[in-house]
Amino acid sequence: GLFSSDVRPPAVEAVFATSTTWSSALIASMGANGVGQLLEAGDGPLPWDDVDRLVVQFSEGVFGVGNPTVELRSSLGLVATNVVYDPLSFRAIVELSEPLALSKYRLAVADSLVDLEGNTFDGDANGAGGGIFNFRFDVVPGDANRDGRVNGSDLTNFSGSFNQSAGSANFE
């Protein structure tokens, strides 16, 4: 028929951090379908100093993705980005003008997005259209154990990975 039964609003399913400098072996070792490091609420800070892309995975195809509907802010203000949407994978790739530095970040997706059927984006994950998606994360380069500090404990984590290849049993 002419009418669709799709009444579910599109939503963000996952957010990943990645880098154009990371090897495919390193990305594969993260276990996130070859995308990068899955970011989850409550995770410790990201320990890398070379994250230059964020990937936003939507539940379905959406219209209206780009600048300024996807925005990244640090504790210093708006971060310069270029947002590219891939309609085949339902992913927005947030390309950063420079890698993420030590800071607190907020990734936001506006509630103006819609799916093919016109259902409004569910940014606040309450099951109904509307609401801005807000995702907070921190970056603390060198914080291998992700406890928010860089100290001797991190050296212990790193030293176990010396002379190891990404994906090997001793690589962390």
Task: Identify the band that residue 171 occupies on the pLDDT scale cut at 50, 70 and 90.
Answer: low
Read off the pTM: 0.84
* Number of CB atoms found within 10 A of residue 129's CB: 21
For residue 35, the one-letter residue type is: V
Task: Identify the band that residue 43 occupies on the pLDDT scale cut at 50, 70 and 90.
Answer: confident
Would you state the pLDDT for residue 48? 86
- Calculate mean pLDDT across residues 47-72: 94
Q: Which residue has the higher pLDDT, 36 or 83?
A: 83
Are 118 and 111 in contact, with CB atoms under 8 Å apart? no
Q: How far is CA 6 from CA 61, 122, 127, in A?
A: 12, 14, 13
- 26 pLDDT higher than 90: no
Would you state the pLDDT for residue 1? 42
- 147 pLDDT higher than 70: no
Q: Which tokens go with 96? A: 């950063």
Distance CA 95, CA 55 (A): 9
Return the closest-CA partner of residue 128 out of 6, 37, 5, 7.
Answer: 7
Task: Assign 3-class secondary structure to the chain.
Answer: CCCCCCCCCCCEEEEEEECCCCCHHHHHHCCCCCCCEEECCCCCCECCCCCCEEEEEECCCCECCCCCCEEEEECCEECCEEEEEECCCCEEEEEECCCCCCEEEEEEECCCCECCCCCECCCCCCCCCCCCEEEEEEECCCCCCCCCCCCHHHHHHHHCCCCCCCCCCCCC
Phi, psi angle pair for 25, to nearest 5°: -65, -40
- What angle (nearest 5°) sits at the alpha carbon of residue 91, between those of residues 89 and 93? 135
